[in-house]
Structure 1
Amino acid sequence: MKELEIEALVENLMPVLDFVDKQLQEAECPTKIQMQIDLAVEEIFVNIANYAYNPKTGPATVRVEILPEPPSVDITFIDNGIPYDPLSKADPDTTLSAKERQVGGLGIFMAKKTMDDMKYEYIDGHNILTLKKGLVIR
């Protein structure tokens, strides 16, 4: 398992993506899956940067664990900001037009759709959100 501790700022998104992508490339992750993971990582990290410590800022930890059987990756985001479970919010109604839909929630919805599993916990003052994705194209 590899870990990156970084200030939860939107301008730190690229170092986070570089860190995650390095682990995925070492695991020979297919490009299509890496793109899906990058989309979810971007959404989660930007949400932490924008909302977890609002209006201040604070630390975020990103852990990447490559699992051999079946080939998969767990990416865990940890912050000690405001308790928030992004998975508890109802999915947006994608049958409505963009004008009719409420603002927000689409990024988490896309992350949920592209990941194989997502899990949220609040433990000892920490938001812990784990993304799981298989590394084999089906």
Structure 2
Amino acid sequence: MKSITVEAKIENVDKVTEFVNEVLEEKECPLKVQMQLDVAIDEIFGNIAYYAYGKGSGNATIQIEMEDNPPKITLIFIDQGIPYNPLENKDPDITLDIEDREIGGLGIFLVKKTMDELSYEYVDGQNILTMKKELA
């Protein structure tokens, strides 16, 4: 397992994405999967950066683990911010016209639709969001 810890600021999303993409390229990850993971990283890390620490600041740790049979990536996002489970958000009604939809929720909805497994837990003062995606 590899990990990176960065300050939870939106300008660090590129560092996190590059860190994950280096591992994915070593494993010859399909471009479509890499793009889905990039969107998920942007959404999850962005939410941590914007909301986890309120007006304060803190860190986020991203762990990555690769499995071979079947080829799968596990990404774990950990922060010590305000307890919050984004998976409990009500999915947006995408059948409505854009002007009739409520603002927000589309990013986590996309993450839910593109990842194979998602889980959240709050343990020892930490938000832990785990995403799994098969590479094949």
Q: Shorter-chain TM-score: which interval? A: over 0.9
- Read off the aligned partner of 2:119 and give its amino acid letter: K
Mind listing any 5+ residue stretches in structure 2 that lack a counterpart?
Answer: none
Alpha-carbon offset, residue 70 of structure 1: 0.8
Partners of 2:98 and 2:51 lie apart in 1 by: 23
Partners of 1:80 and 1:47 lie apart in 2 by: 13
- % identical aligned pairs: 54
Equivalent in the alignment of 1:12: 12
RMSD, aligned α-carbons: 0.6
- Read off the aligned partner of 1:105 and give its amino acid letter: G
Instruction: Give every structure 1 segment of 4 or more consecutive aligned residues whose post-TM-superposition deviation is greater than 4 Å.
Output: none
Equivalent in the alignment of 1:95: 95
Equivalent in the alignment of 1:64: 64
Q: Normalized per residue, which structure has more helix? A: 2
Alpha-carbon offset, residue 73 of structure 1: 0.3
Partners of 1:130 and 1:27 lie apart in 2 by: 20
Partners of 2:42 and 2:74 lie apart in 1 by: 15
Equivalent in the alignment of 2:32: 32
Alpha-carbon offset, residue 28 of structure 1: 1.0
Count of aligned positions: 136
Which TM-score applies when normalising by structure 1? 0.97
Partners of 1:53 and 1:102 lie apart in 2 by: 24
Alpha-carbon offset, residue 96 of structure 1: 0.8
Equivalent in the alignment of 2:127: 127
1:28-64: CA deviations, max 9, x gaps? Answer: 1011110011111110000000000011110000000
Mind listing any 5+ residue stretches in structure 1 that lack a counterpart?
Answer: none
Equivalent in the alignment of 2:43: 43
